A and B are shown apart, each in its own frame.
Chain A
Amino acid sequence: MAALMAGFGLYTHAIVRRIPASLAKEALRTSEAEVDVDKARGEHDAYVEVLRTRLGLDVVDLPADESFPDCVFVEDAAVVCGDTALITRPGAESRRGETEAMKRALKALNLNVVEMTDENATLDGGDVLFTGREFFVGLSSRTNQRGAEILADAFKDYAVSTVPVLASLHLKSFCSMGGPGLIVIGSSEPAQKALKIMQQMSDHCYDKLTVPDDFAANCIYMNLPDKGHVLLHCTAEQYPESFKVFEKLKDYTLIPVSNMEKVKVDGALTCCSILINKKGSI
């Protein structure tokens, strides 16, 4: 294959990580919710199972590390686009160590690994929205300008625009890609505002799919051979209203995935995996 930026949503591999027991007590969270580790593990298993068996991805399953209660949220540890993987420097100091295992896994996949060594830089993968044509990086409590700059350096082909994220943990706490050129966005005011900014900053036109619940806006889109458009999204049980919105999507393989427990520690669907495309790579 010979084209840049082709095959948005096409993935061959996924990296996931097990949930440590420490998640229940020590994982960072914005609310005071109690987490049932077993339930969480059950959810996570189901999630991984979807990736592996239902979608046929090669899943790299990293073992949990009790010293990193948040390690299940692998998305924050690295940003992978094309052949390049940027190892981040997570904004939460307690999570910095999570990147080691991630780095090894990415190198094992023969990716071009770039590390973020600048000590002034912080970046959580959850703040990075890749649309297929460009990056949006949320400037949040976890991600700063310098981190975004390094990301921009790592992915020179793409425009990297910054979006202030004030009301939530991550940029992707209220949005994600629901398809090529389709941004799924929460309906809260901060979410809508962020969307406006993104639209303004972009040379490209994006469609938007607004869902009532911000957190439901975090979904996983893939475009897989033989399966077409695939969307992993919230369950009706969790966000009934948003679920209805997703249900209206045509030509999608809709896969509701339960996320009741992880959400308590601000874990969204995209947080729990890193998706990689090794086939299309040049």
Chain B
Amino acid sequence: MTTEVGSETEVKEKAEESADQPDQSEKATEETQEVASAEGEEKGKEKEGKGISKFLPTWLKKQKSLSQTSPTKEAALKEEAISVEKQEEEGPAPEVNGLADEVPEKEAVKSEQLKEKEEKPHSKASTDTEPAKEEKVDESVEKSPEETKETTEGQGVEEEKKEQEGEVQGEGEGGGGGEEGQTSIFQSPLRLVRKTKMKLVVCHVTLLDGTDFSCEVEKRAKGQFLFFKVCDHLNLLEKDYFGLTYKDNHEQTSCLDPMKEIKRQIRSNNWQFAFNVKFYPPDPSLLSEDITRYLLCLQLREDVASGRLPCSFVTHALLGSYTLQAEFGDYEPDQPRPVDFMSQLNFAPSQNKEMEEKILELHKSHRGMTPAQADAQFLENAKKLSMYGVDLHHAKDSEGVDIMLGVCANGLLVYKDRLRINRFAWPKILKISYKRNNFYIKIRPGETEQFESTVGFKLQNHRSAKRLWKVCVENHSFFRLNTPEPPTKPRFLTLGSKFRYSGRTQAQTRTASSLIDRPAPRFERTSSKRISRSLDGAPMISITEAGRDSAENGREHRLDDSKVKTVDVSPGDVEDTSAQDHDKTQDEVLKHQASISQLKRSFMEAPPPSPPQTNQWEKRLTSSPATAVRVQQQQVVSEPHAEAAAAAAAAADFTISDTKESAKTAEVEIEETVVIQEVSKATKPALITVTTDSPASAPTDQETREPEVTVQEEVAVPKDAKAAKQESVSSESESEEEAEYHPNVSVSLSHTQIPEEKEEEDKENEDETAEQNMLAPDVSSHQAETSHPAEDISGGVVESQKEDMKKNAENEKEGRETEDSTDDLMMTPEETPNGVALSEEAVAAHVEEEPEPRINGEPRPQVICYSEPPVVKTEMVTISDTFAAQKTEIATKEVPIVHTETKTITYEAAQLDGTGDGEPGVLMTAQTITSESLCTTTTTHITKTLKGGLSETRIEKRIVITGDCDIDHDKALAQAIKEAKEQHPDMSVTRVVVHKETELAEEEED
């Protein structure tokens, strides 16, 4: 059960918080305490509250923190300990035990402590881990809302109230625990959605038969929601071959990413979509249902008639004749059609009388053929066409010659004019990547060659490069993999960047469709529709239905939720925050999930791969350590969004406190980036953590490394608990305009990994890149990002730690080491000193155990890859130089998106050391963490450099805010800086860049 993970992670988190980094723990505790105290939670509630605290949205904590602030810190620490205990009591107990076991003997002290604390829980908690966990999850979910209520009440925000109502119900149910609680969870998000000012949008989807289907969709709905609506309407079960497309601002047809919000993709208020075949099955006869074949036929008819699928005269005629047979039945000489009958039907781009006659002639020979048979024959012939299923993209080769790149089931085809001049089968391709407008594939060395080679192509622009890359990733995943992300190998879920194929693979869909057990559905063929039907007929679907669905699906949701939470928990301090974040996001996610899951269910009860995928994805989103980081950041910047978050009500609520006033404006989307670079110089290279102070580790290289390892371990541990963490790590991908995908890496690991830049960030990406580059002088940031997922996590931790630090300066130093030992759940800050030592040891032990998976998995190949892109450096140099203005300008230019005003503000500390690219130091680690929520994307780039005996840690945060409303930028900026300072008291803010874009028309994401 997913739930288990969640609980475990929670526990770990607690442990981490307390033990690993006193700072963090302190913080967390503080926060929780603060919350509790601020809102005056009774002790009775305390349990819940404390347990819940993890899940509480960051903003809540923040608010609390704001109100109560530092004075309470010490007290808070104590309280924390208590709270932790309580939490443990509630659910996690069994898990705790597991953790304790995991803990190395060296840590015996810690473990003992833990055990002591655990004992209580044990006694209470039943051995059945699952139920307990579930309860926990439920409680947490529900509780979080409760807390929100409290907070909201205090603030008296209307929206919040609404949410609260929903939550209240949830609470009641939560008290019931168990199943009821589950339902409540699901319902609550829905309710939230409804009650909050949910904006409904009417989507128009052009179906393959040319008719229009319109339905209402919540404005924040994800692509999947709409897609499933359409599939439902079509009565289509084998839906994995299909997808939705839309026209972006550049009149380019783009695929609607099912996992992303529709609104953010279309970026224009044109809710017009088309339902299309996305993957052309190489052998349509293997499709299970005639209706699927029929839809494929419709697509191919269009492809043929438009010339997209070129074919000869004879083939045109043959295909046309099958179309006639399918649509009109046998040729009837007695009832001659009107003269212009044939010419009204569109069979070919260059249709003429001769062809029509040929078609009729052939039609006669199909007498007796049923429509389904005619469709099958049509497909049998169409599939043999050389361009069948080939998705063409304009490009130039290295010499600037115009070529076409064709992506298909078998690989990548290179065409010059109509000639195929090269072909790269999927097995031959080691890596697919893009950077800017370049698209690269790394080729496996052939029998005679010794080295892999990289072939580069130039696309028209960044967007097209990305689009191509995506299509490649999708096609490879769909046609070559058995499972996109095996549940056992979470890494696959590299969602950090938004993209990787999220659906089922062909293998899976075949398996699934083989289980379809329903009478062949009846469906109308085009002809009849054409004649009789008007477009208006399309049914309207209201959100309410969706809500129901989701509610029904409660179970699945639950699972997802629990998973998500679990993931979050692990990172320690961050966890708390992250958990809270989760709550926000979860709500949203939940509803979507609900709909999705429901749909899936309807399709098949247990599609093994799919649900996990979703879950993982969600995990990624919410749970990843990055998330935690971002949460904090979100707090800072996101506030402005507040109202944007209508869907994400929770976020909105918390935001309210600070910025709300400014918030409510209309539909202008604003993307805002705040980059905060912090540089701290520490004598100690050791811990990756920002904390300079920490005396813990010695400066030796080995030592330094060890700490890193430790970090990884931490990550790993959570992973062990549930691979989820790894996923999260992997998911955090670069912020740059590039992405990589390793199709071959034969084992699942390799497949999984699909780093991608964040789409939303496109605009600012360049800026980021530059800055990032600066931060990470040596190694390409990418490497760090992908290869050292653990580090990323650590980074997140670090940040959280920092926060803690600010509050509790003293203990923190030791604390960070404590992080490593996730096990020390119970560790109180005070205990930490001991814990530190232990933790180090523990760390070492962990290192041995855990690091392996990483190495085996993705990191290796990636590392190789990294070495190659020299581009990064160059770019870095160019852009990175402190001239923020320049950077932004460049960025703006390059990013085609900008439709509106762009404003860039750069604040720079004069002190900037030679931290720039040129720095001679040894790069110890570099990592980028990217996290996303509804309206914010946060990228954190942490670089550690070892110079002489000094270790320098730079943290760069980039926060992109996208919102429907006006944002008080100045306020947000001030907040962000303030936050940053608070978070990392020992570090100095060297630069702040605010890049503000108000989009009149939204850019398309590519």
Contacts and interface: CB of A to CB of B under 8 A. Distances in A.
B384 A5 contact: yes
B574 to A, nearest CB: 48
Interface in A142-200: 145, 148-149, 152-153, 155-162, 200
Given A2-B365, A4-B384, A203-B410, A161 B314 contact: no
Nearest to A133: B384
A282 B386 contact: no
B450 interface: no
A158 B388 CA distance: 10
Interface string A86-112: 000000000000000000000000001
B423 A3 contact: no
A201 B410 CA distance: 11
A202 B428 CA distance: 13
Contacts of A133: 384
A223 interface: no
Interface string A52-90: 000000000000000000000000000000111000000
B883 interface: no
B422 A149 contact: no
B381 interface: yes
A5 B315 CA distance: 10
A29 to B, nearest CB: 29
B844 interface: no
Interface stretch (B305-313, B788-796, B973-981): B305-313
A200 B423 contact: yes
**What class of interface size applies to chain B in its complex with A?**
20 to 34
Given A159-B386, A282-B362, A149 B417 contact: yes
A95 B362 CA distance: 39
A82 B416 CA distance: 25
B109 interface: no
B318 A158 contact: no
Contacts of B313: 83-84, 112
Given A145-B419, A282-B318, A82 B312 contact: yes
Contacts of A4: 314-315, 318, 381, 384-385
Given A2-B318, A4-B315, A156-B311, A201 B384 contact: no
Nearest to B414: A201
Contact of B386 (A82, A83, A84, A158): A158
B692 to A, nearest CB: 55
A203 B280 CA distance: 15
A5 B312 CA distance: 12
A162 B421 contact: yes
B197 interface: no
Contacts of A202: 423
A36 interface: no
A115 interface: no
Interface in B288-329: 310-315, 317-318
Nearest to A145: B419
B380 interface: yes
A152 B419 contact: yes
Contact of A157 (B311, B358, B419, B420): B311
Contacts of B380: 3
A152 B385 contact: no
Given A157-B311, A157-B386, A152 B417 contact: yes
Contacts of B423: 161, 200-203
Contacts of B422: 200-201
B318 A160 contact: no
Contacts of A5: 384
A79 to B, nearest CB: 13
B351 interface: no
B312 A149 contact: no
Contact of A159 (B377, B416, B420, B428): B420
Contacts of A158: 386
A282 B418 contact: no
Given A161-B423, A200-B423, A145 B416 contact: yes
Interface string A1-37: 0111100000000000000000000000000000000
B416 A157 contact: no
B315 A157 contact: yes
A43 interface: no
A160 B413 CA distance: 12
A153 B418 contact: yes
A107 to B, nearest CB: 16
Contacts of A149: 417-419
B314 A82 contact: yes
A162 B314 contact: no
A83 B423 CA distance: 28
B312 A160 contact: no
Contacts of A148: 419
Contacts of B385: 4, 157
Which residue, of B377, B422, B423, has the highest number of chain A Cβ atoms within 10 A? Answer: B423
Contacts of B317: 282
Interface string B374-398: 0001001100111100000000000
Interface string B933-977: 000000000000000000000000000000000000000000000
A203 B406 CA distance: 13
Interface of B: 310-315, 317-318, 358, 362, 365-366, 377, 380-381, 384-387, 408, 410, 416-423, 425, 428
5 contacts: A84-B312, A84-B314, A152-B417, A159-B386, A201-B423
Given A133-B384, A156-B311, A200-B423, 6 more contacts: A4-B385, A83-B313, A157-B311, A157-B385, A159-B387, A200-B428
Q: Which 4 A-B pairs have the closest CB atoms?
A: A159-B386, A152-B418, A161-B420, A156-B310
